[in-house]
């Protein structure tokens, strides 16, 4: 494997990790507050559709992004309404939203564009352009570090950098702010938050909104950054892989970055090679794609340290003495 291949795989790792990372951080906020969100997949999908559709109709990717995020936030609010206000089952609500997104996106796409459930291909201002980091051109000649900077790190769309910056931001919010303290507390013991005179509902709605925002960005990136337009089921299980990454990361932001890069890397490798030849035997790329799930099962089984989820996760809060 030559150096250029490594750089290219690194470049595609970053691109493929971005939607995972955004969804994973979205899930982190939601689950840290005690709301389990199996609906990340659906939120990304609905956002992917609306951003592509609006971008195609208006020619502006920014309006598309806005529409996509708005759609994901609305989905989040429905999930919040079901699980916070009406204390419903969070898994059922999440699964229902996934179905809704899957059906609704194709239905509306067919109705508007009549292209078999897709949006038209996006080009120009309807897509996110790549950004060159400062001095990318100048530094490209430097050996080793030069290509890493200018070919691997530079030249991505703005959402990639937003996703990367969201990691330290999430860490800071979670561990250095009042909101973060309360958020972590409400996912562990909502009773403690309630008796301390803080509204459990408001906190959880806040977390769910942030979740909608981030997963919306992830979905928009899929259809307007990574690809050029919406296709049916284009999230392809990324919401679930993001959940796996969240468990892998034990609900912590920096580890989430690591997990998403790892999973992104596995995807990049399997995209590039049909199979990996290890001299003695071949690894089919389907196995590489399955690795995130296998790793997650390993983690859940407790082989690599215990992954302890937020204690109040999944249980609606009911006041009791």
Partner 1 sequence: MAAHDDTGRPDTAAPAIELKGISKAFGPVQANKDISIRVMPGTIHGIIGENGAGKSTLMSILYGFYKADAGEIWVHGARREIPDSQAAIAAGIGMVFQHFKLVENFTVLENVVLGAEEGARLTPSLSKARKLLKQLSEEYELHVDPDALIQDLGVGMQQRVEILKALYRQADILILDEPTGVLTPAEADHLFRILEGLKREGKTIILITHKLREIMEITDTVSVMRLGEMTATVKTPETSPEQLAELMVGRKVLLRVDKAPARPGETVLQVDNLKVTDSKGVERLRGVSLNVRKGEILGIAGVAGNGQSELLEVLGGMREGRGSVQLNGQELDLSGTKSDARTRRRRGIAHVPEDRQREGLIMDFQAWENVGFGYHDDPAYCRGMFMDNAALRKDTERKIEKFDVRPANADLAAKSFSGGNQQKLVIARELERNPDLLLVGQPTRGVDIGAIEFIHQQIVALRDEGKAVLLVSVELDEIMALSDRIAVMFDGSIMGERLPSETSERELGLLMAGISDTSREHSIKEVEENLAHSGGKVMT
**What is the binding site for partner 1 (CB under 8 A)?**
175-182, 184-185, 188-189, 191-199, 311, 319, 321
* SS3 label, residue 306: coil
Q: Which two tokens stand for residue 156?
A: 């991505």
Q: Which residue has the tokens 């302890």?
A: 308
**Closer to partner 1 at the Cβ: 10 or 310?**
310
CB of 305 to partner 1, least distance (A): 14
Residue with tokens 């909101």: 179
Q: Across-strand partners of 282?
A: 277
Q: In this complex, which beta carbon is closest to partner 1, that of residue 151 or of residue 188?
A: 188
Which of 156, 182 has the CB closer to partner 1? 182
Give every CB contact of residue 1 below 8 A, 6+ residues apart in sequence: none
Say how many CA atoms lie within 13 Å of 318 toward its Cβ: 7
Q: What's the rounded Cα separation, in Å, for the pair 200 and 35?
A: 12
Q: How is 234-253 classified by DSSP, letter by letter? A: TTTTHHHHHHHHHHHTTT-H
Pick the closer one to partner 1 by CB: 155 or 191.
Answer: 191
- The token duo for 125 is 């201002």
- Do the beta carbons of residue 134 and residue 150 sit within 8 Å? no
Give the integer Cα–Cα distance in Å for 105 and 182: 36
State phi, psi for 196 to the nearest 5 degrees: -80, 5
CB of 307 to partner 1, least distance (A): 14
Select 180 or 314, whichever has its Cβ closest to partner 1: 180
Contact partners, residue 234, CB within 8 Å, separation at least 6: 45, 48, 222, 223, 227
Nearer to partner 1, 6 or 304 (CB): 304
Distance from C-alpha of 288 to C-alpha of 275, rounded to nearest angstrom: 9
Residue of 114, 77, 69, 121 whose CA lies nearest to 97: 77
Minimum CB separation of residue 193 from partner 1 in Å reads: 7
The Cα 179–Cα 85 span in angstroms is 20
Select 272 or 311, whichever has its Cβ closest to partner 1. 311
CB of 88 to partner 1, least distance (A): 20
Shortest gap between Cβ of 183 and partner 1 (angstroms)?
Answer: 11
Taking a C-beta distance cutoff of 8 angstroms, is the pair 50, 112 a contact? no
Using the minimum distance from each CB to partner 1, give the nearer residue, 59 or 184. Answer: 184
In terms of CB distance, is 145 or 308 closer to partner 1? 308
Residue 175 CB, shortest distance to partner 1, in Å, is 8
Q: Minimum distance from CB of 176 to partner 1 (Å)?
A: 5
Beta carbon of residue 171, minimum distance to partner 1 (angstroms, whole number): 13
Shortest distance, CB of residue 86 to partner 1, whole angstroms? 20
């Amino acid at each position: 494997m030559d150096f250029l291949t490594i750089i290219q795989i690194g470049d595609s790792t970053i691109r493929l990790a971005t939607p995972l990372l955004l969804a994973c951080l979205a899930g982190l906020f939601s689950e840290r507050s005690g709301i389990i969100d199996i609906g990340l997949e659906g939120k990304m999908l609905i956002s992917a559709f609306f951003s592509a559709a609006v971008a195609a109709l208006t020619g502006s990717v920014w309006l598309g992004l806005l529409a996509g995020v708005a759609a994901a936030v609305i989905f989040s609010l429905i999930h919040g309404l079901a699980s916070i206000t009406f204390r419903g089952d969070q898994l059922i609500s999440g699964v229902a939203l996934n179905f809704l997104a899957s059906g609704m996106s194709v239905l509306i796409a067919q109705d508007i564009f009549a292209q078999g459930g897709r949006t038209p291909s996006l080009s120009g201002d309807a897509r996110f352009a790549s950004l060159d980091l400062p001095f990318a051109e100048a530094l490209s000649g430097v050996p080793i570090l030069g290509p890493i900077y200018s070919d691997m790190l530079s030249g991505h769309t703005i959402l990639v950098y937003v996703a990367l910056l969201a990691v330290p931001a999430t860490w800071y919010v979670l561990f250095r702010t009042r909101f973060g303290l309360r958020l972590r507390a409400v996912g562990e013991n909502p009773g403690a938050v309630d008796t301390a005179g803080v509204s459990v509902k408001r906190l959880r709605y806040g977390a769910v909104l942030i979740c909608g925002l981030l997963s919306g960005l992830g979905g928009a990136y899929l259809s307007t950054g990574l690809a050029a337009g919406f296709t049916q089921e284009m999230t392809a299980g990324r919401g679930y892989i993001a959940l796996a990454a969240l468990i892998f990361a034990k609900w912590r932001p920096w580890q989430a970055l690591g997990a998403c890069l790892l999973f992104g890397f596995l995807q990049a490798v399997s995209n590039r090679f049909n199979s990996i030849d290890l001299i003695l035997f071949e690894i089919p790329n389907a196995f590489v794609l399955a690795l995130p799930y296998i790793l997650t099962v390993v983690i859940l089984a407790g082989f690599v340290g215990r992954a302890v989820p937020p204690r109040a996760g999944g249980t609606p809060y009911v006041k009791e003495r």
